[in-house]
Chains A and B, each alone.
Chain A
Amino acid sequence: MQNQEGLQADADMASITPIQASEVEDWANFRDDDIMQQQSAIRAVEAEKIPLVGDKEPLSSLAAEYQSGSPILLEKIKVLSEQFDAIRRTRGDGNCFFRSFMFSYLEHILESQDQEEVHRITGNVENCRKTLQSLGYADFTFEDFFALFLEQLESVLQGNEASISHDELIQRSRDQSISDYVVMFFRFVTSGEIRKRSEFFEPFILGLTNTTVEQFCKSSVEPMGEESDHVHITAVSDALGVPIRVVYLDRSSCDTGGVSVNHHDFIPAISDAPSGTSGGSETKPFINLLYRPGHYDILYPK
């Protein structure tokens, strides 16, 4: 039973609604209910084709995507393949940065069994909890998310009752009821860090969205599905004390002739080595993410 009235009559439906330009862009081509339903059905089917966290694939699968595309990208992928040998894709649902970070971090702990790192990050998580409390968040709003992350962290350490295998880690990362909760945990941590150091983040946020720090956290950090950029990455890396390398794959070319691939290392502010020569190998990140405009995937170094 569709309503019979001409659907184009909805033209001024939105006239009273204060909505943000970015949302309008996304939905601007939704003319009526039918198309809307069709579109969201297509979207749901598309999304299901890509699991929240995919399988590990050889880097050649990345090149295959651009076979008939930009030669610069193919050149860059060639350069990339000198350092990395595999990619793991994540679903493009706006949570891809946090989800990639989650999987990459837990997988690293599972493989390294680095107890010291687990001990260290647990301390940071406790500090994040205190940050949120001091910012006025009620405990019940975030404690379930914190508990779920700590549970995953414990389970990737072997030798206790809760221990899980690599396969189980993949399964959990694909299980929305676990995966989304961990993503939300990172969103809380990120928001807390940005608010706590609002005078530091303010200029970046102003440059990005022209909103207040408070408003930015409310509309671009805390809701699920809101994409991340350098502000989010800096904040989560600082808060948890985890260095992150982001490798950029885009069409930009450099003037010097040879093709190179840019990357940026997010090194936690606190553990900053005494300033001086750049690129100490001690802080080389174990989290490697591939950024293509609008999306993050996980990279595996050789």
Chain B
Amino acid sequence: MSGTSAPSRKGLSKIACNRLQKELAEWQVNPPSGFNHKVTDNLQRWVIEVNGAPGTLYSNETFQLQVDFPEHYPMEAPQVIFLAPAPLHPHIYSNGHICLDILYDSWSPAMTVSSICISILSMLSSSTVKQRPTDNDRYVKNCRKSPKETRWWFHDDKV
């Protein structure tokens, strides 16, 4: 019953490392608009600044995304969360976990950090109300540390 294995943080595979270097180079030439990657020497964790789009509920607000890459990126999805304070949004929990299918089941190696960012910005921009998910408190209290491990909770009981 003690199944809470902490996700072991393995280094990037060679192929993942290679891919990320190319992705980073591309980002530097052509970053998605509204985003700013704070370049560090850590290829495995990117911290990205998100600027709310003008004319939306989040204009003039700035948030930070933390993207952690697994050993087998891009076959496996990166882990993407908002650092505190996370935007008030019906699909974003106060602990920064984001309810967005492409981050979990619908991830594909054809996607990139850049395409994730665009999806997240579009999710923010289409929001009509600034509020937490209705189950925020219980989710935040019970969830596992990584949203990639707790994704099934989203699927629970929606029958």
Contacts and interface: CB of A to CB of B under 8 A. Distances in A.
Interface of A: 1-3, 5, 9-20, 23-24, 26-28, 30-34, 36-37, 137-138, 140-142, 144-145, 177, 180-181, 184, 187-188, 191, 218-219, 222-224
Contact of B112 (A27, A141, A144): A141
Contact of B135 (A15, A32, A138): A15
SS of A interface (majority): helix
Q: Which has the most chain B C-beta neighbours within 10 Å: A16, A180, A218? A: A16
A26 B152 CA distance: 11
A282 to B, nearest CB: 35
Contacts of B15: 144
Contacts of B4: 1-2
A27 B152 contact: yes
A290 B154 CA distance: 36
Contacts of B108: 187, 218, 222-224
B1 A2 contact: yes
A37 B22 CA distance: 36
Contact of B110 (A16, A32, A222): A222
Interface string B116-134: 0000000000000000011
Nearest to A141: B110
Instruction: Please provide the 6 A-B residue pairs with the shortest distance between their CB atoms, ordered closest to farther.
Output: A14-B158, A222-B108, A140-B22, A27-B155, A223-B108, A3-B142
A47 B107 CA distance: 21
B19 interface: yes
Nearest to B72: A177
Contact of B91 (A9, A16, A137, A180): A16
A41 B8 CA distance: 18
B109 A184 contact: yes
Contacts of A141: 74, 109-112
B1 A31 contact: no
Interface string B132-159: 0111001101100000000011111111
A99 to B, nearest CB: 14
Contacts of A26: 155
B155 A23 contact: yes
A224 B155 contact: no
Contacts of A223: 105-108
15 contacts: A2-B1, A2-B2, A3-B141, A10-B156, A11-B157, A13-B153, A13-B154, A17-B154, A23-B155, A141-B110, A144-B15, A177-B72, A188-B110, A218-B106, A224-B108
A140 B158 contact: no
B75 interface: yes
Given A1-B2, A16-B99, A30 B75 contact: no
Given A2-B1, A13-B135, A18 B75 contact: no
B3 interface: yes
B38 to A, nearest CB: 21
B156 A27 contact: yes
Given A11-B157, A13-B154, 9 more contacts: A5-B141, A10-B157, A13-B139, A17-B154, A20-B101, A23-B155, A24-B155, A142-B110, A181-B75
